[in-house]
Structure 1
Amino acid sequence: MKHTKLLALAALPLFLAACQSVSYGPSSGGFNPPPQQAGVEGQWTDPNGIISSFYGGRFETRTTDGTNSLLAKGNYTQINPSLVEIEMTSLVRNTTSRVNCALATPDQLNCTSSTGSQFSLRRKTV
């Protein structure tokens, strides 16, 4: 009986250590918060709710009125970690313009067009 208690007490730290090494990630089915996106990749909204998407060097702006109509498209280049340059064509005005955007915070882009107009975009949360 003494040996059984001694063996149980000796095994207890191993059991507790095994419990602590359990991870809560996608493979375990536990909670895994989404990673913070780097740069401008993802979706952004303007104050009017228009959605701009940045994926793999491609840029699009679409309406949110249910039609999901394409308003502008183009390409973007990440100049450095906090600066992006967009070359876009407005399908509404049939014009091409260049826009420079600075990543003010991980969730806010401050942009200036080649004509001098300024606007801000906020990262769309999922």
Structure 2
Amino acid sequence: MNTLRIIAIGTLAALLAACQTATYTPRPIQPQTQGIEGQWTDPNGIISSFINGRFETRTTDTNSLLAEGTYRYVSDRMVEIELTSLLRQTNSRVNCAMASPSQLNCTSSTGSQFTLVRRI
């Protein structure tokens, strides 16, 4: 009986020691992105912002407004942008498809294609 009790206590002690030596390493928290909302940049460094249905592009050096307009979801991965270029005083439409949470592939109504990358 004493041997059985010693084995049980020893096993319990080993289990408790194993629990105490285990370490918890938290994963870094990744920001959750929701759809197209936020800031995006093109290869020229122009920043495009999508905020609550409003769209605008600005320069990185002077923060000058280049274009503004609205956007709407056509589907969960496709967005249509109606914009006015303040430089050219023209209106145009751009369709953008979310290739990934961090990349938009866009095509203007004139057929020009470009890519936007989410800013972190």
Please classify the TM superposition score into its range, dividing by the shorter chain length: 0.7 to 0.9
Whether 2:38 is the aligned partner of 1:35: answer no
Q: Residues 24-79 of structure 1, C-alpha deviation per residue, up to 9 Å, x if partnerless?
A: 8xxxxxx86243202110000000111000010000100001x1000000000011
1:62 corresponds in structure 2 to 58
Q: Distance in 1 between matches of 2:44 and 2:95?
A: 20
Unmatched tracts of structure 1, length 5 or more: 1-8, 17-23, 25-30
**How does the TM-score come out when normalised to structure 2?**
0.77
2:79 to 78, 84, 88: 84
Matched, 1:100 2:95: yes
The gaps in structure 2 that reach 5 residues or longer are 1-11, 20-25
**Distance in 2 of aligned mates of 1:110 and 1:59:** 16
Rounded to whole Å, the distance in 2 between the matches of 1:104 and 1:32 is 25
Task: Give the corresponding residue for 2:3.
Answer: none
1-structure distance, mates of 2:88, 2:46: 16
Q: For 2:103 and 2:111, locate their aligned partners in 1 and report how far apart those are by CA, in whole Å.
A: 19
For the aligned residue pairs, the C-alpha RMSD in angstroms reads: 3.0
Provide the rounded CA distance (Å) in 1 between the counterparts of 2:103 and 2:52. 19
Scaled by the length of structure 1, what TM-score is found? 0.73
Instruction: State the match for 1:119 in structure 2.
Output: 114
Shift of 1:80: 1.3
Query: What is the aligned length?
Result: 114
How many percent identity over aligned positions? 67
Q: Which of these two proteins has the greater Rg computed from alpha carbons?
A: 2
